[in-house]
Structure 1
């Protein structure tokens, strides 16, 4: 099979793309030794600042430096506007789907999504059924993963609505690029991104009906793979970073323990999964959550961002239906397409997947963070054979 890719910098005829001209001029004038030196400086600075992430199960060690490339990916404004509109459209439809799913379930009655695909899903939370949220907002922060086809078209690889992660690394990468190569930014008009924490805080505050709500970031703790990001965002927003033990519920209100006494909490930007939020309602063995949190939440006394139960919308088995959600709720054609997808729960599609594993990427429907997946083109024959047996044992748990 001949694979082709989209060259970000050069067109098919070998001509430099217009939005890369200034960068190409700068690159041609910059000695390779200087680029290598600046790359080493970046790694050293990232290491000193503790800007790392954890990759569980990695044989080379769990702690890794932030990914950083001295060759940036430039996206012209006209192209970005399409991506932006497509992401907004998609997230709007997903929020409408969640509101519908936990109330009228019109999309199920219309036969667009099979009932068992969502109502029997482990991420579907009965505790959310019939619960109305302020502004009908479920996914306050979303992570839409994009890939680019060989013709330059953008496709959505997956949606992340539970606890989307990674924005802090993008912000730090940009900051590092500006520090190492300020002349590159001086010569071009680059859209700023350093206002993201302000936008995030504004989003969190607007999710509450109160005029000036108290906001905290809830982290599982410093051993979590994305703890750097939790601390980074709390610091940049100017809000408290808390663990479950720092919070308590009294009279169905959430409070934070402080040296000056209990302080009410109105909005929790939570960075741990549903199962660990409240040991009285979900996993009773959780030491990370806040006993009684669900009760306070259901009374409308605290906002959780993202809402409990959003995971059912970013489950990989629901992903193939997102384009239909856009048509159903918005009466619009999707701006961004899905990657062609096969659901292993369907016998015919399962046969196709098993016959073409070397050419496919296979994911667990409820997986996240890159775990529990097979990248066929990069896998060995033994890995493919082993994964095929896993798919056969539980076909409904995989898509390709």
Structure 2
């Protein structure tokens, strides 16, 4: 028995591979024909090969539970997602535009605050921001860049339009899984890479290292770059170790570093102290330096902010960049783009209701059964409610949360998220997905060719996070005859 694409029906959703039952999109023809040529047994063998490769390569993620932390094999679907290159060119330009404006915004907030003085961005929002750091006022980082690495989450609606769902500017994660997804797919379907012109993603570690090295306060050919991790129990530790290894950088914990009397950062080694030039930190702001932030932190390095403020070390992402990683601030990004760049946004935001506004709050409370409501600073799919899938009791509880702290909540329409064929219980069925490309900004801006596609493995679910039962796919940006 082989795949029958006529029985695959994406219904009212935009499907990434199938335009209508039995009708593949132009870029997916080769893939769908190939999959149809495989027997059920062959398809299941490829799936088993992928699962074996993931275990063999040690690709894991950590789930926090009441009983402790559990390392699980990375959930992966072998059917790739395909995006034509001409569509991606617009996305790439839009992400570059967006991160440029966000960095101008962050730099402005910690210096002149022109956007507030000109009444484009409300001062009241900044006053209640959980991620604004007074300790960063007056600092001018190299190139004026605060968020050097951004992971912006994109979704498609029913008409195929890309929207930015949110921007991750604090400690964005997931890029290692994007890279490993490609390696697994090459093992499972090596022949397909001979028949497609697929843009590579494996240059990311070298692009990341070059961006980091260019921030060095010392003019060295080989500056000392380290990756600062909270340790093995962090949910993203696999990624910390992976990127350090791929870049040839040292993986360190807070106890491995110290700030000297000269306000420079040093790494403890068997040969003695070695000066550190650039720190790619994977620790949240408040745990970064017990002298400047949480005095009880055992994860950070005392005096690190002092060293950074004096220009003796580069920190990536810069402390305080998370002020723009706020779903309320997100609603103002289109205005930022117009204010700082005098341009219209290339990629639109999802329409967003701010619960801090009395009229919008009234609308949200009256329409909870139709909306997705999210807290301003949570991530990983936690603390949110998908109105159409929630119980009446849950919606009532959420209404009380909104009334108690309206600044902390935004609401958005329940989008008809795009789907893609996904292998579930031996059958190919449509599952909803999103996409997290990664943008590097320093001397220049680099956008990954595609990104981490996350897929909701449960039928009908819109929650794609791995911690909430989601999985992932390889993402192909491919040439077409019309490109």
**TM-score, with structure 2 as normaliser:** 0.79
Q: Which stretch has the larger CA shift, 281-290 or 37-46?
A: 37-46
Q: Does 1:325 pair with 2:350?
A: no
| TM-aligned CA distance change 1:232 to 1:81, over 3 Å | same
SS at match of 2:159: coil
The answer to which structure, 1 or 2, has the higher relative contact order (CA under 8 A, 6+ apart) is: 2
The answer for the alignment partner of 2:75 in structure 1 is 67
2:256 alignment partner, one of 246, 256, 260:
246
| TM-aligned CA distance change 1:357 to 1:245, over 3 Å | same
SS at match of 1:337: coil
Q: String of CA shifts for 1:10-48, please: whole Å, max 9, x gaps.
A: 335963211111111111112222222222232233234
Q: Does 1:189 pair with 2:197?
A: yes
1:28 alignment partner, one of 24, 29, 36:
36
Higher fraction of helix: 1
| TM-aligned CA distance change 1:173 to 1:312, over 3 Å | same
Contact 1:217 1:240 in 2 (8 A): yes
CA-CA distance at 1:253 after TM superposition: 0.5
Q: Which stretch has the larger CA shift, 117-126 or 211-220?
A: 117-126
**Matches of 2:383 and 2:402 in 1, distance apart?**
11
2:237 alignment partner, one of 224, 227, 234:
227
1:380 alignment partner, one of 391, 404, 428:
391
SS at match of 2:130: coil
Work out the number of aligned pairs and report it.
398
CA-CA distance at 1:351 after TM superposition: 1.9
The answer for the alignment partner of 1:371 in structure 2 is 382
Q: Does 1:268 pair with 2:268?
A: no
**Matches of 1:56 and 1:359 in 2, distance apart?**
30
CA-CA distance at 1:171 after TM superposition: 0.7
**Matches of 1:60 and 1:274 in 2, distance apart?**
24
Report the RMSD for the aligned CA atoms in angstroms: 1.8
| TM-aligned CA distance change 1:63 to 1:352, over 3 Å | farther
Q: Does 1:127 pair with 2:135?
A: yes
Contact 1:216 1:241 in 2 (8 A): yes
CA-CA distance at 1:211 after TM superposition: 3.0
Contact 2:50 2:78 in 1 (8 A): no
| Alignment map for 1:349-360 (pairs within 5 Å) | 349-360=360-371
**TM-score, with structure 1 as normaliser:** 0.95
1:157 alignment partner, one of 161, 165, 188:
165
1:180 alignment partner, one of 180, 188, 191:
188
Contact 2:355 2:406 in 1 (8 A): yes
Higher fraction of strand: 2
1:341 alignment partner, one of 335, 349, 352:
352
Q: String of CA shifts for 1:307-348, please: whole Å, max 9, x gaps.
A: 010011111110000011000001111000000111111122
Contact 2:217 2:312 in 1 (8 A): no
1:6 alignment partner, one of 3, 10, 14:
14
The answer for the alignment partner of 2:228 in structure 1 is 218
